[in-house]
Structure 1
Amino acid sequence: MRATELSELSAFAAVARHKSFRRAGEERGVTASAISHAVLNLEERIGIRLLNRTTRSVSLTEAGALLQSHLDPAFGEITSALDALNRFRHTPFGRVKLNVPNSIAPFVIGWIIGPLLQKNPNLELEISATDRLVDIVQEGFDAGIRFGERVAEGMIAVRIKPRLRLVVVGSPGYFERRPVPLTPHDLKRHLCIQNMFPSGARYPWEFERDGQAITFQPTGPLSLDDHELMTQAALDGVALAYVWENRVEKFIASGELIRVLDDWCQPEEPLYLYYPSRRHMSAGFRALVDAIKA
Structure 2
Amino acid sequence: MKQNFTVRHGALDGVEAFLSVAHHRSFRRAAAELGVTPSAISQAIRALEARVGAALFIRTTRSVGLTEAGERFLARARPAFEELVAASGVARELGQRPTGLLRLTVPRSVVPILLEPLIASFCRAFPEIEVELAASEELVDLAAEGFDAGIRLGQFIAPDMIAVRLTNPLPLIILGSPAYLARRGRPERPDDLREHACLRLRRSNGALASWSLDDNGRSIEIVVSGPFIANDFPTMLGAAVEGVGLAQVPAPLATGAMATGKLVPVLEQFAPMTPGVFLYYPGHRQIMPKLRAFIDHVKGRSGGTN
Bucket of the pairwise TM-score, normalised by the shorter protein? 0.5 to 0.7
Which residue does 1:134 correspond to in 2?
A: 140
Letter of the structure 2 residue corresponding to residue 280 of structure 1:
Q
Which residue is 1:212 aligned to?
A: 218
Equivalent of 1:195, from 196, 201, 210?
201
CA contact (8 A) 2:104 2:150 kept: yes
Query: Is the Cα–Cα contact under 8 Å of residues 154 and 274 in structure 2 kept in the other structure?
Result: no
Q: Look up the SS of the partner of 2:237 in the other structure.
A: helix
Bigger radius of gyration: 2
Equivalent of 2:177 in 171, 188, 213? 171
Measured against aligned partners, the alpha-carbon deviations of 1:52-82 in whole angstroms (never above 9, x if no partner) come to xxxxxxxxxxxxxxxxxxxxxxxxxx99x93
Matched, 1:291 2:297: yes
- How much is the aligned-residue C-alpha RMSD, in angstroms? 2.6
1:180 aligns with 2:186: yes
Larger mean Cα displacement after TM superposition, 203-212 or 273-282: 273-282
Tell me whether 1:109 sits opposite 2:115 in the alignment.
yes
Deviations 1:252-282 (A, max 9, x none): 1121211111111122123332222233322
Which runs of 5 or more residues in structure 2 are unaligned?
Answer: 1-5, 8-86, 301-306
Residue by residue over 1:152-211, the C-alpha shift from the partner in whole angstroms, topping out at 9 and shown as x without a partner, is 343322233243332111111111112211111111111111211144320011000312
In structure 2, the CA distance between the partners of 1:157 and 1:244, relative to structure 1 (3 Å rule), is closer
Which of these residues, 232, 235, 239, is aligned with residue 233 of structure 1?
239
Mark the CA change 1:287 to 1:215 in structure 2 (over 3 Å): closer, same or farther.
Answer: same
What is the identity percentage for the equivalent residue pairs of Structure 1 and Structure 2?
35
Aligned length: 216
Query: What SS does the aligned partner of 1:137 have?
Result: helix
The match for 1:121 is 127
> Which ranges in structure 1 are unaligned for 5 or more consecutive residues?
7-77
Alignment of 1:237-256 (within 5 A): 237-256=243-262
Structure 2 counterpart of 1:51: none
Q: Which residue of 2 aligns with 1:277?
A: 283
Distance in 2 (CA, whole Å) between partners of 1:161 and 1:186 is 31
Return closer, same or farther for 1:153/1:200 CA change in 2, 3 Å cut-off.
closer
Q: Secondary structure at 1:121's aligned position in 2?
A: coil
Alignment of 1:36-75 (within 5 A): none
Q: Offset at 1:284?
A: 1.6
